[in-house]
């Protein structure tokens, strides 16, 4: 006949405490998650660090959406301004401005005078509501 201890369950002392293995796995998992979070933080901090040098030669001056996936972008490379059309599939040069060309946006006037002698919106609104405009 076979020995009864041969088929008996192994004792807990032979394999270590049951809770100890779970604690080791949890601590190891937390260390891995902390490492990945630190790596993501480092990548976020360094991402633009190499391109933001002191003398950036390419500058985006302006961008205007032309459609859902199309843009017109004005870039300055050195002293030359280039108007570029950007779509989801390609980039095309639309116009190259000569060096020294004024491609800056014009300054908006402090107060738009409109048509001389014509009332402005505020006075028309007060008049339509039957109120007197306070000066």
Strand-by-strand arrangement of the 91-97 sheet: 58-65, 71-77, 80-86, 91-97
42 and 68 housed in the same domain: no
The number of folded domains in the chain is 2
Range of the domain at 34: 19-46
Among residues 47, 89, 82, the alpha carbon closest in space to that of 63 is found at 82
**What's the CA dihedral at 107, 112, 114, 118 to 10 degrees?**
-170
DSSP state of 52: -
Residue 14 forms part of a structural domain = no
Among residues 79, 83, 99, the alpha carbon closest in space to that of 91 is found at 83
Distance CA 133, CA 97 (A): 49
Average confidence score pLDDT of the chain? 78
pLDDT tens profile 24-80: 999 999 999 999 999 998 888 887 555 555 556 888 888 888 888 899 999 888 888
> Residues 6 or more apart from 78 whose CB is under 8 A from it?
57, 99
pTM beyond cutoff 0.95: no
Residue 75 forms part of a structural domain = yes
In DSSP terms, 92 is beta-bridged to 85
């Amino acid at each position: 006949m076979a020995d009864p201890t041969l088929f008996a369950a192994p004792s807990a002392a032979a394999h270590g405490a049951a809770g100890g293995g779970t604690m080791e796995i949890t601590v190891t998992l937390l260390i891995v998650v902390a490492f990945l979070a630190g790596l993501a933080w480092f990548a976020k901090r360094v991402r633009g660090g190499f391109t933001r040098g002191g003398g950036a030669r390419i500058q985006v001056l302006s961008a205007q959406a032309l459609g859902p996936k199309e843009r017109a972008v004005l870039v300055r490379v050195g002293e030359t301004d280039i108007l570029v059309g950007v779509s989801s599939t390609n980039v095309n040069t639309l116009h190259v401005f000569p060096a020294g060309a004024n491609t800056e946006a014009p300054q908006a006037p402090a107060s738009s005078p409109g048509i001389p002698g014509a009332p402005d919106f505020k006075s028309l609104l007060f008049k339509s509501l039957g109120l007197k405009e306070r000066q």
